[in-house]
Amino acid sequence: MSGTLVEERKTISFVPDIVTGILGSVYCLVVLFILLIIPILQVAFGAEYRNQCPINSNIPVYLIVSGACGMATILLTIIIAIAFICLFKKDSKGTSFITGCIIGIVFLILFLMSLFLSPWFIVGNVWIFGVYSTVDLDNTSSRPLAAILGSVYCLVILCILLVIPILQLAIGASFQNQCPVSPNIPTYLIVSGACGIATIVLTIIITLAFILCIKRGTAGASIVSGCIIGLVCLILFLMSFFLFAWFIVGNVWVFSVHSKVDLDNLLSPNYCQRTLYQFAFTIIIMTYVMSVISCCCSCFRSCCEVGKALKT
């Protein structure tokens, strides 16, 4: 009996090291998703302006290929980070062997890709700096840049916002069985994160449809884009009903145990892992704060429009 208690204490004393390792990987995951913005912008700009650089038509191609390879590189690195989070932390020889094989294959692909990207970067330097002294940036008949950049900036913001549901999913999955006071809190974070990722990805699809199809001005592209956008908007509309109800349920699960939750004593029946509970609590509070700010901004904008209308 005493031996069992000693083993439990050793296990408990080892938990902070595991938690530190998991959080380190999660933060690495967040950084990778933020870095994903750069290759996405490369693909977006290259695809949007691929016929608008007659001085060197290879420059848009350079951006598209670099962006595509950059996204592939970061996504493969994300696979490695997730493998460390979900498999290596289980301390199982079988899962460690499988994970090692996966990571080895991914590293091989990354190595081969780096052999291509290095000379491709040099080629891109030749194409860009070769016309630097003669390029004309002003004489153009293209559409207003502001409207296109508006969509691209929207794409960047969506990619940054993607970090939040990814964190929800990662933290909820990492601490799934570490909240006996309310076992539904990790489930709340996992479902919210998965739906949040789906929502943002669908919104990115709409933005890309505007950037790559509607702005080309052809009737066929406009019809196809309109159908895609209509379908995606319907899915988002239905998903918003679920997320609203799920948010209310999450409030009940998180705030109902706020007065009795124990964040330190692992043996307490009211225990909940500190990072898990504080993150869920903070996310809910941030949602309320952002909702209030959005309402205030909408009211201010409406008042300004009414004021302008009265003046005229």
* Residues linked to residue 262 through DSSP beta bridges, in sequence order: 271
Q: Which pLDDT score, from 0 to 100, does residue 228 have?
A: 73
Kindly indicate the confidence band of residue 290, based on its pLDDT and cuts at 50, 70 and 90: confident
Q: Which residues contact 98 (CB under 8 A, 6 or more apart)?
A: 87
Mean pLDDT to the nearest integer, 77-87: 68
Q: Which residues contact 25 (CB under 8 A, 6 or more apart)?
A: 81, 84, 85
Mean pLDDT score of the chain: 75
Mean pLDDT to the nearest integer, 72-84: 77
Q: Which pLDDT score, from 0 to 100, does residue 251 have?
A: 94
Q: Which pLDDT score, from 0 to 100, does residue 253 have?
A: 92
Among residues 199, 200, 166, 192, the alpha carbon closest in space to that of 251 is found at: 192
pTM over 0.75: no
CB atoms within 10 A of CB 150: 14
Give residue for tokens 């109800």.
245
Distances (CA, A) of 51 to 56, 207, 208, 247, 277: 10, 20, 18, 46, 51
Residue pair 117/66 in contact by the 8 Å Cβ criterion: yes
What is the torsional sign of CA 194, 200, 205, 206?
positive
More confident residue, 29 or 255: 255
Mean pLDDT to the nearest integer, 125-131: 85
Mean pLDDT to the nearest integer, 159-168: 82
Mean pLDDT to the nearest integer, 272-301: 83
Q: Which pLDDT score, from 0 to 100, does residue 29 have?
A: 65
More confident residue, 228 or 176: 176
Kindly indicate the confidence band of residue 141, based on its pLDDT and cuts at 50, 70 and 90: very low
Q: State how far the Cα of 131 lies from the Cα of 209, in Å rounded to an integer.
A: 32
The answer, yes or no, to whether residue 243 has pLDDT greater than 50, is yes
More confident residue, 197 or 87: 197
More confident residue, 7 or 91: 91
Q: What does the domain layout of the chain look like in residue ranges? A: 1-142, 147-312
